[in-house]
Amino acid sequence: MKTKPAENLFIIGDIEVYGYEQEFQKLWGEFNEGGDLIAVLLKFEENYIPFALDSFDARGFAEVMSNDSTFKMMSGIKGITEQIEPFLNQPYKRKRQLYYAKCTKLNTDTNNVDLSNVQQAQPHDAQELVELLNSVPEFNLSTMTLERKLRELNDGSSRSFFIKEDGKIVSTASTAAENSMSAMVVGVATQEKYKKKGYATNCMLKLCSQLLDEGKELCLFYDNPEAGAIYKRIGFEDIGFWMIYTYE
């Protein structure tokens, strides 16, 4: 599974952080006749994430999920989840499709861009970062809290960069689910008054260049084509769709 670190971000990250002995996390594997692992199913709390490089036992994975009374969500790459969906006993309540993009190299030479006003966040910046995200309309469904932001900044599963103007944080970009091989870019936001100044792009460039220098692949979800165009200018390429199914 490590041959696809961006595609397997959540599976790799959850195994690295929580291992195999947690009550809230379980893993199933499908093996071929030679004993090679060909498919994985991860359960994290009520969410199931499947992954396979080729054909796999979609019916078998569906049976595992349908027989779990706590099953409420399935998420993963579209080509995999759509094979499982017909075999699930439960009708889904909601199905959401997001573009899934990854970056292994920046299109921009950051040595030629002035990023001196981009700062890396420390735990004492958490309150202001959360307030910024909660003030931006695109994040009105965000579940980010001060406690969660502090935990992520302290445990190394997330990092944030920001730009200040007029004495306050006005633009930011962060990671989530960081692991030894990959990271998810999230929380790219700018206050309305400070948009169209390239602030979010510069926060992204600083963030992405640091992670790529560490040898990590980057990925992100988006459903807004305008945002997608910005990400593609930086160096992200679409690799498919990420599906999120919610069940009763």
What is the per-residue pLDDT across 54-82, written as a single tens digit (0 to 9) for each?
899 999 999 999 999 999 999 999 999 99
User: Is the model's pLDDT at 18 over the cut of 60?
Assistant: yes
Q: Determine contact, residues 187/173, Cβ cutoff 8 Å.
A: yes
Interatomic CA distance for residues 154 and 149, integer angstroms? 9
Tokens of 112: 């030629």
Domain regions of the chain by residue span = 9-90, 103-240
pLDDT attached to residue 95: 95
Rounded Cα distance, 68 and 66, in Å: 5
What's the token pair of residue 114? 């002035």
Residues 6 or more apart whose CB falls under 8 angstroms from that of 127 comprise: 146
d(CA 222, CA 135): 19
**Which pLDDT band holds residue 141 (cuts at 50, 70, 90)?**
low
Kindly state the DSSP code that residue 109 receives in the 8-state scheme. Answer: -
Return the pLDDT at 248.
Answer: 80
The edge-to-edge listing of strands for the beta sheet with 182-190 is: 25-31, 37-44, 47-52, 73-77, 237-247, 92-103, 217-222, 182-190, 168-176, 160-165, 118-120
211 touches 218 (CB < 8 A) = yes
pLDDT in tens, 187-229: 999 999 999 999 999 999 999 999 999 999 999 999 888 888 8
pLDDT computed for residue 132 by the predictor: 94
Report the CATH fold assignment for 103-240: Aminopeptidase (3.40.630)
* Among 143, 113, 144, CA closest to 127: 144
Proportion of the chain in helix, strand, coil states, percent, rounded to 5: 35, 35, 30
Q: Is the Cβ–Cβ distance between 43 and 18 less than 8 Å?
A: no
Residue 1 has pLDDT above 80, yes or no: no
